[in-house]
Amino acid sequence: MDTPSSDANFAGSIPELYDTQLVPLIFEPYALDLARRAAALAPGRVLETAAGTGVVTRALARTLPPQVALVATDLNPPMLARAAAVGTARPVVWQPADAMQLPFAAGAFDLVVCQFGVMFFPDKPAAFAEARRVLRPGGALLFNVWDRIEVNEFADVVTAALAALYPDDPPRFMARTPHGYFEPERIARDLADAGFAAAPVIETVTARSRAPSAQAVALAYCQGTPLRNEIEARAADGLAAATSACARALEARFGSGAVDGRIQAQVVMASN
């Protein structure tokens, strides 16, 4: 399935809403998990691709020893600008870069880390091959991807609510892209095609997503992700109505007041 270019369009007000609403909702626990795994590998030079607004960068900067060099990259300058503005506990090199064509020498890093970015790469084996190129022999690629949408409860409810609101042309961004690349067999095959000889280690990690209200979850998904682009493409003035419809559906499922839902991801490590 082709991925529309709008699926990778994190611009306008999306970066700020993404960072303030979606990051604490679903990304924080997995950022801490990746940082812990990265530290256990004791790398000297680390490259982060698809760094977004820097949730993993901040976790790595806190967790890795201060002598570890950390370079954080992203294809979208507005996202990286938000990350740099928020800042980190110690110096980080921020650099716009395409994970499909990394501007670094072969063997330059001990570890490449990517949180929930692989799903957006138009050619996964090519992106994996590029990560492998910049890794030294014995280095590792560490990344995570969301599991199927049915086991990520908030995303599933939001997608179903929007399908009811736009039955003739339902927005499918969440199912198509963030939750569209999760099968361990496919991931392993793509890594092998990229030149990683050893079988990857793939672990399913389940966590909880919590928010003060259903409205907060609806705002995060509908206005802090490229799902917003799909909604506005269907009705230029429909964003508020779509957000409200999702909030009602979330409240019907999870109740009023604070809400709590399951989230699940695949965490992958491939050795060079």
pLDDT tens-digit readout, 145-196: 999 999 999 999 999 999 999 999 999 999 999 999 999 999 999 999 999 9
Residues 6+ apart with CB under 8 A from 58: 31, 86, 88, 89
Rounded to an integer, what distance in angstroms lies between the CA atom of residue 42 and that of residue 59? 15
The pTM score is: 0.92
pLDDT tens-digit readout, 94-125: 999 999 999 999 999 999 999 999 999 999 99
Instruction: Give the containing element (helix H, strand E) for 74.
Output: strand 69-74
What is residue 1's predicted lDDT score, i.e. its pLDDT?
Answer: 44
**Residue 71, strand partner residues:** 47, 93
Exposure string for 34-73, b = 16+ CB within 10 A, e = fewer: bbebbbebebebbbbbbbbbbbbbbbbbebbeeebbbbbb
Neighbouring C-beta atoms of residue 237, cutoff 10 Å: 7
Q: Which domain holds residue 223?
A: 5-271
User: Strand 109-115 to strand 45-48: parallel, antiparallel, or no bridges (unpaired)?
Assistant: parallel
Assign residue 119 the CATH number of its domain: 3.40.50.150
Tell me if 162 sits within 8 A of 246, measured CB to CB: yes
Total number of domains constituting the chain:
1
Distances (CA, A) of 238 to 5, 79, 81, 162, 171: 21, 25, 28, 11, 13
